[in-house]
Structure 1
Amino acid sequence: MKLKRNKFSQAKYTLKIIFLQMCFCLPWVNTIWANEIKNDSGSIAESNSLDVKTILLLNNIVKDRVITGIVKDASGGTIPGAGVKVKGTTISSVTDNNGKFSIKVPDNAAVLVITSIGYETKEVPVGSAQNLTITLSESSNSLNEVTINVGYGTQKKVTSVGAQSSISTKDLTQSPVANISNSLAGRLPGLFAVQPSGEPGADNSNIFIRGVATFTGSSSPLVLVDGIQVDNYNSIDPNEIEGVTILKDASSTAVYGVRGANGVILVTTKRGKLGTPTISYTFQNAFNSFTATPEKMESFEFANSFNQALKNDAYVSNSVYTPRYSDSDLAKYKSGEDPLFFPNIDWYDLMVKDVSQQRQHNLAVRGGSEKIKYAISAGLFNQEGLFDDAGVKADYDPQIRYKRYNFRSNLDYTISKRFRASLDLSSIIENRSGNNANTNSIMNFLNGAAPNLSPGVVDGKILLFEGFGSPLTTLYSVGYKNDVRNLLNGSLRLDHDLDFITKGLTTHALIAYQNSNRKLSEYNRAFVTYRAIKNPDGTVDFRQLADNQPFNYNPTDPERNRRITGEFALDYKRTFNGHTVSGLLLYNQIKSTNKDFAYLVPNSYQSYVGRLVYDYKGRYLAEISSSYYGTENFAPEERFGFFPAYSIGWVPSEEKFFPKNKIINFIKIRGSYGEVGNDQLSANFLRDPNSRFLYRDPAFTRRGPYTVDGSYRFGVFGQNLASYEALREGSASSPGLTWERSLKTNVGLDLIGLDNKLTVTLELFKETRDNILAVPRTVSALTGIGAAAENLGKMNNKGFEVDVNYRSNIKDFKYFVRGNYSFARNKIIFQDELPQTFAYAQRTGHVSGQNFGFIAEGFFNTWEEVNDQNRPQYTFRDNNKIQPGDVRYRDVNGDGVINNDDSVPIGYSSTVPEIIYALSFGGSWKGLDFSVLFQGAGNFSVPYTRRANQAFFDGDPSAAADYLSESWTQERYDKGLPINFPRFGVGNGARGFSNYLGSTLWIANAEYLRLKNVEIGYTFKPTFLSKVGLKSTRIYANANNLVTWSKMLKGVDPESASLPANSEAYGLVRTVNLGINVNF
């Protein structure tokens, strides 16, 4: 039964509705009121007051509410990082790692706009739903939405006409390494990486972009982090990085002028994003071990072989053979009955750990609002080396330890509609401590020590034989050091829209400051060693060889470096009637000061940059870029140069005649030509005053107070003379000296096919580099002064790159396969050098870093071969003493003599491989994911060092086990067994030295294939995590340098073998890692 309201109650009810409408400011409350006061017959329902349920219902309807949802792709997989925005408002959110989001909506009429790179934008009405499941379709041309970093800006991948390659933070963090340069190998086509050492804190790779194009200047690329030049990008925490891009052709690098010839690496760090803050914590615990360890002879084998070597050498020197080890000695070595005086030490087993540990922590906060976005990160990395204390009782730790602290804060402020500011701060503190010996010296001794060299360690004491040392003395005898470096970077960037002048016009100004310091403290002291003395009664005493000494503190002068960068630019971008035009005008100035050298003036650059980019409907593309770049490294009239580049592109798939199909979805053809420069005319150009100011007249060289060729000396001849430091004219000046000039040509093809699942990029390139700095070799020494360095050299470098990537899914299983292949070969067109008797001995015409040596054609196997009157005569032996087991060399010029005229180009370059390739694949299914990366190199040669290629090196032998089983002996030859090495010989001068000349026998084929990286992980389901307050959690295991296949000697890594001759490297390490990432 419905009752009618009286006038009083009706008025009272109306006032309540008006009050609610005023409170919530929602016009549709009127509709609720109208529906409430009318009944089916048009009469007014009786109600004296609004009950509690009605008020609560109204409150829920009219108030902003929060809805949740999940964004998925067509296969049901979640899409992290998708943008979710309420249409027509500034309210927005971002999906988390599990594709989930929450967002506040004003009413049921709200519409959500969902966007994600690679997917079509979708609009979803909210209605009354509280939870949404939204499915996005893949974009018909996902390339349209992909942006890439270029010099001083970004461009859409679809319209870019330059040669660039990029990877994301996901690829970088799959490699559990301390140094990000070691994460790049195999992941970027065109990037050649060689890692010569795995030493903690000194394990960075040598990076080359498209190989080498100079034979004296620096080949290192320019590196910028967030647009600012840095010197230690290797130490950045990979968790801070958003992505890495390399710029390879002139179209991409011309804007960097004299700094762009070697390519550019752009590192972009993570920035804040809209949405509630996400706190991320990552922890990794890894174990390292050497990728390769040599196998050594045991003492009996070594002593017996050494006697045989002396016997062989006695013939050469016409001396009586006297064995070093008697039959009694050999018996004791074999039985092992007297380890103190007839030891058998495996030095690697004694001094090298099986594994060492490294740990990494990273804590990051990322989020933001419409006004401010932030990304803050702090990290700690701790790594220890593989040296073992060997049981030595010492009052300091000789272990190499590397500790690094990282901090970064990137803040973006929206000050007004047109005005924005970005403030970036970062700091890196590195601490490297351990023994004070040169690591290569330790490895030299460790690789060269005979198993019977000393008794090793007894009761914590280092024991030595008289007249002999030990690898342990190198590790302990020089004390310890503490090396601290810190770097502080800060930058402020202001952006302002100038659309009140014309649409699309913006400006920005930037100032950046970099402060780098280093303090090295050394504590020197000779370590106490002992000698075992056997008493007549058979007992043994340990005699201390020196008294304990206090540490001698040896501080070094601190290094202090400063760099200030200033930049101002105008940017323009506008689209009208299918025409898109963008432009850049920029001024940049850099000033660097190195306080380590008081007499060095600051190093400065100044540049004016311009770029004009045009495309018509994404079909016809063109770009002109240039820089007018100046450097004070040259004389005033030679300091500035103009560096232009031109590029065009055509997209046939955008033509009307191109059929729409699923086989070829997109195709772009592009080409570029331009000029860039290189002012780093030597590897240490800016830090060496004797090579930096070569244009000054005259060029003086500082001479020390006790040098014969330049210091002043006073006093009576034959008595003590007082010497004083002096300056002398070291070489003639080169006032016309200028930068290396690089002309680059690039042709590229980008293709997307198979319904957007396949992407292919092909690149062909050629570079001609001239003005290469060189000292003329044809100037006579009779001039009395060093020849002036000149821009004399010329080289070219050409090659190609292929990058193929396929991504698809089978229901819930997503997978990818990717492969890349890069080839680059250089050639010296001209290098000023002395004329050679034979053209093949000239360096001109060959690759930079070409090895030269003799062609080994097996061995002399019989005395008949040795005594053959027609064989060539060997000038490297006294009396031409050859015997069976010696290396036979080819007489290249046919003059009947083996001498330097028979040295020819052998192998490939030892600087960088000509071929780099990689194959990766992986997949994900529900919460499980995995990836595998194989990486390899080819056309690469390294000469074995003498400790590796000579069984007995002047009494400092390597004793490699390979020589025991593969060296020439009459017995092995008679049995037809494989022989890969010459007869044993001690190798002093004439006594067998010619067997170890640089030749094809000792030039190693350093091509290799590595299982570079493997990772497997599992991400827990959100339903489980939400119960404990977590957004996402992923556990994973990954490994680096797991397996290596190569043709090198056992125990020699093909990359670490690239160090200079006679310098044994701290080997590369294999890393196995466990990690967890938690997001709150």
Structure 2
Amino acid sequence: MPVYHPDGNFSGQGRVVNPVAVQKLAGTSQSRSNNTLLSAGLQLKPLEGLLVNLDYTYSQNSSNQEQTGLSFFEYRAVPGTEQLFPYTNPSSISLYNADSYQNAVNLFAEYTKSFNDAHNIKALIGYNQEYNKNSNMIAARLNLINQEKPSIDGASGEKNTYGSKTHYSINGLFMRFSYDYKGRYLAEFNGRYDGSSRYPKDKRYKFFPSGSIGWRISEEPLWKKTPALNWWTNLKVRVSYGSLGNQALVGNFGYLQEYYETETDYIIGGTRPKAIMAPELISGSITWETVNQSNWGIDAGFLDNRLTAAVDIYRRDTKDMLWDGELLPAVLGSSIPKENGASLKTTGFEFSIGWMDQLKNGLSYWGRFYLGDSKTKITKVNNPTKTLRSQFYQGMEYGEIWGFESKGLFQSQEEIEKSADQSRIGQAWGPGDVKYEDLNGDGFIDYGKMTVDDSGDMKKIGNSLARYNYGFNLGFEYKGFDLSMQWQGIMKRDVFLNSDTFWGINEVSGDRVNIINPHTFTLDYWTPENPNAYYPRPKFLSSGNRLPSDRYIKNGAYLKLKTLDLGYTLPYEWIRPMYIQNARIFLSIENLLTFSHLPKAFDPEDLSASAYPRPRKFSLGVNLTF
């Protein structure tokens, strides 16, 4: 669709949106925000080794937005068929205001003491309190009298208002005690007693302990006295266990039943009477979600720590996640209340190795490689039938993709008639459509009961969780010149790009057709002259062609050059007369290179086709120190 008709008017095809016309004619959205942050603190040292700290922070954030929708004519391809653009007809104006306030107080005392140059202790105890309050208001009205000067009073249509207020607070005690003997034997114990207003009074507080121990084996006298170990500079082993609470996923008043105003579905006296909706069921036992993590690690350094390495193996158990409770009869007329009824387990490792050195000619160089991986398994969830219609089932590996196994594309009507019946997953199958494998051999392609035990012809065809995250940093400095770069990527990930951008043609959704500009990679579609195409034949109603299948699972692995920095530090004798201590000229580039198996329209870090593309940034500047 062209932007303009030959007569100079913007083009438009009814429900096909001309974005240039919308940007120019459909109205504006203007926002303004004001942020205030005040903080004050006091530190006292009444005794040797004792520090008392008190700080207070107040912040206020206010924002407002004015949005107008202006009516304008769409000029069709056929003269005389002009119509008002449907999405801003009638014209409108809306005003939005929001305010948020936060208060935070921290008070703690820390005591540090050493004995006999061997025993070192540090103890800390403190109190934290936060209060948050938020409010917002929306006012809107239709039918602007004068579109050139839009205002609430300058409109004659229906008025709508909405507003809300909410607040929550948290407080708690925290403590820490650490001990080390000559930096050789290390121990630390922590505890938090946290409370949140987001839970019922008898469920608001919970204690979360943690602790760690470490042993620097390389500090042992025997190690230092062993000549064969002179090249091994550092060796430390450590173990830790910790528990933390999470209350961020709970509504501010999720433990209270809420009533809502609405209008009835029947008319009395020419109007729909106001009514109060019956509240949804809630669980009276909602409390903190708890994350317990254990970690085992080794740190090592060699050749005066020019070569360093670290390995961590961890397990994280997330307990009491909010999830749907027990199934209730449909005649109850209420949704299933949330309760602390789900758990998951994550196991993984992290590894890094690095080298840094300086040669006799003054060249300094360094590099570090890191690799990490994790897998998450659902250990508890209320899904007794293991239905695949639910997000989780017990025993599931997080990120599973279920779908069909494809046998290519149908090439003829005769092939369709000789294959398994696919009418249960789509209609109007023809040459060029996707052909699926009859895994259970019943002569039909279907979903079965959509459970793990009876999934019809579906199976696990991939996993969307990113695996084997890796990266490396490289750099050098020589005679004032410096260069550094950071690479990042993942080695394994399965991706199902189920979007119009990927398929190149749109689905019909109700009475709306979303037309897009197809990319060149979508032109490899089936025709009698192109029987070995990647994509099925193009049509608005895909009729099953876009179901998840191994044919359209893409390799989501990638490698990116995230940053590249090049600089030159001017010699001091050049800048000393200008009273400058240091001057560095630099060029910095972000997102310079991407190696990916996905179509170019997709960023492997953000698979959404509608996501704003990550820009390639070039920065040239000078850092001066006086």
Q: What band does the TM-score fall into relative to the shorter chain?
A: 0.7 to 0.9
> C-alpha displacement at 1:1035, in angstroms?
1.4
Which protein has the bigger helix share? 1
Residues 700 and 727, structure 1, Cα contact 8 Å, conserved in 2: no
The separation in 1 between residues aligned to 2:618 and 2:556, in whole angstroms, is 25
Question: 1:225-250: CA deviations, max 9, x gaps?
Answer: xxxxxxxxxxxxxxxxxxxxxxxxxx
Equivalent residue letter for 2:526: W
Shift of residue 1011, structure 1, vs aligned partner: 1.5
1: distance between equivalents of 2:424 and 2:463? 27
1:581 matches 2:139: no
Distance 1:755 1:792 in 2: 51
1:217-256 map, 5 Å: none
Q: 1:567 to 1:857 in 2, by over 3 A?
A: same
Deviation at 1:851, TM superposition (A): 2.9
* Amino acid paired to 1:961: T
Contact 1:497 1:505 in 2 (8 A): yes
Q: 1:929 to 1:987 in 2, by over 3 A?
A: same
The counterpart of 1:634, out of the listed 175, 184, 199, is 199
Contact 2:123 2:176 in 1 (8 A): yes
Residue 891 in structure 1 maps to residue 438 in structure 2: yes
Does structure 2 retain, via aligned residues, the 8 Å contact 1:841–1:905? no
Shift of 1:874: 3.4
| Identity %, equivalent residues | 26
Q: Relative CO higher for 1 or 2, CA cutoff 8 Å, sep ≥ 6?
A: 1
Which of 937, 943, 949 in structure 1 is aligned with 2:490?
A: 937
What is the Cα deviation at residue 517 of structure 1? 1.5
Counterpart residue identity of residue 939, structure 1: K
The alignment status of 1:882 with 2:433, answered yes or no, reads: no
SS in structure 2 at match of 1:895: coil
Displacement of 1:520 in angstroms is 1.5
Quick check: 1:786 aligned with 2:339? Answer: no
Describe the shift of the 1:544–1:613 C-alpha distance in structure 2 as closer, same or farther (beyond 3 A): same
Deviation at 1:1028, TM superposition (A): 2.8
Q: 1:836 to 1:618 in 2, by over 3 A?
A: closer
Alpha-carbon distance between aligned partners in 2 of 1:524 and 1:914, rounded to the nearest angstrom: 45
More strand by share: 2
Q: 2:34: which partner in 1?
A: 486
Cα distance per residue 1:914-966 (max 9 Å; x no partner):
332111101111211111111112433443233124333245355332232x2
CA distance in 2, matches of 1:829, 1:747: 22
Letter in 2 for 1:923: F
Query: How far 1:809 sits from its partner (Å)?
Result: 1.3
Where does structure 1 lack aligned partners over 5 or more consecutive residues? Answer: 1-452, 535-541, 686-690
Q: What TM-score results when the alignment is normalised by the length of structure 2?
A: 0.85
Q: CA deviation at 1:467?
A: 6.8
Distance 1:894 1:832, change over 3 A: farther
CA contact (8 A) 2:66 2:94 kept: yes
Task: Tell me the residue number matched to 1:497.
Answer: 45
1:476 — aligned with what? 24
Out of 564, 570, 576, the residue aligned to residue 1020 of structure 1 is 570
Answer whether contact 1:694 1:735 (CA < 8 A) is retained: no
- C-alpha displacement at 1:875, in angstroms? 1.3
Say if 2:473 is the partner of 1:920: yes
CA contact (8 A) 2:58 2:102 kept: yes
Conserved 8 A contact 1:740-1:773: yes
Residue by residue over 1:436-482, the C-alpha shift from the partner in whole angstroms, topping out at 9 and shown as x without a partner, is xxxxxxxxxxxxxxxxx245466864223577542323433432222
Deviations 1:889-919 (A, max 9, x none): 223333322122333333223xx52332111
1:772 Cα deviation from its structure 2 partner: 0.7
5 Å matches for 1:140-155? Answer: none
SS of aligned partner of 1:972 = coil
Distance in 2 (alpha carbons) for counterparts of 1:951 and 1:769: 41
Structure 1 residues 1005 and 779: CA distance shift in structure 2, 3 A: farther
Residue matched to 1:946: 499
User: Which amino acid in 2 is paired with 1:969?
Assistant: T
Tell me which residue corresponds to 1:1040: 590
Determine whether 1:959 maps to 2:518. yes
Note the C-alpha offset of 1:487: 2.4
Tell me which residue corresponds to 1:1078. 624
Matched AA of 1:857: K
Code of the residue aligned with 2:124 in structure 1: it is L
CA distance in 1, matches of 2:65, 2:625: 39
- Hey, what's the Cα distance between the residues in 2 that align with 1:1028 and 1:758? 40
Q: Is the 8 A contact 1:777 1:834 kept in 2?
A: no
Instruction: Sort the Cα spacing of 1:581 and 1:841 in 2 relative to 1 into closer, same or farther, 3 A.
Output: closer
1:516 aligns with 61
Write the deviation string for residues 490-530 of structure 1: whole angstroms up to 9, x where unpaired.
2222111122xxx3122111111121111112233235544
Matched residue type, 1:590:
E
Structure 2 contact 125–176 (Cα < 8 Å) conserved: yes
Q: Distance in 2 between matches of 1:921 and 1:610?
A: 40
Query: Residues 777 and 890 (structure 1 numbering): CA distance in 2 closer, same or farther, change over 3 Å?
Result: farther
CA distance in 1, matches of 2:441, 2:287: 44
Question: What is residue 825 of structure 1 aligned with on the other side?
Answer: 375
Are residues 1:678 and 2:227 paired? Answer: no
Mapping of 1:609-620 within 5 angstroms?
609-620=174-185
User: 1:748 corresponds to which residue?
Assistant: 297
Distance in structure 1 (CA, Å) of the matches to 2:471 and 2:462: 23
Q: 1:842 to 1:636 in 2, by over 3 A?
A: closer
Q: 1:253-272 alignment to 2 at 5 Å?
A: none
| Aligned 1:415-564 pairs, distance under 5 A | 453-454=1-2, 456=4, 461-465=9-13, 468-499=16-47, 503-527=48-72, 529-531=74-76, 554-564=93-103
**Aligned pair 1:987/2:540, yes or no?**
yes
Contact kept? 1:678, 1:740, Cα under 8 Å: yes
Please give the residue correspondences for 1:120-159 in structure 2 after superposition, counting only pairs within 5 Å.
none
Rounded Cα–Cα distance in structure 1 between residues aligned with 2:216 and 2:352: 19
SS at match of 2:279: strand
Superposition deviation, residue 834 in structure 1: 5.7
CA separation in 1, counterparts of 2:489 and 2:328? 43
Q: 1:465 to 1:792 in 2, by over 3 A?
A: closer
Residue 987 (structure 1) shift: 3.0
Q: Using the alignment, how far apart are the partners of 2:168 and 2:61 within structure 1?
A: 15
Residue 564 of structure 1 contacts residue 592 of structure 1 at CA under 8 Å; is this kept in 2?
A: yes
Q: 1:1032 to 1:552 in 2, by over 3 A?
A: farther
- Would you say 1:860 and 2:419 are equivalent positions? no
TM-score by length of 1: 0.51
Query: Could you say if the C-alpha distance between residues 808 and 585 of structure 1 is closer, same or farther in structure 2, counting changes exceeding 3 Å?
Result: same
Query: C-alpha displacement at 1:1045, in angstroms?
Result: 1.2
CA contact (8 A) 2:375 2:398 kept: no
Structure 2 SS opposite 1:650: strand
Q: Is the contact between residue 135 and residue 166 of structure 2 (CA under 8 Å) also seen in structure 1?
A: no
Alpha-carbon distance, 1:1008 to partner = 1.1
Residue of structure 1 aligned with 2:167, choices 590, 593, 602: 602
Deviates more, 1:836-845 or 1:624-633: 836-845
Q: Could you tell me which of 527, 535, 546 is aligned with 1:969?
A: 527
CA distance in structure 2 between the partners assigned to 1:1075 and 1:723 by the alignment: 66
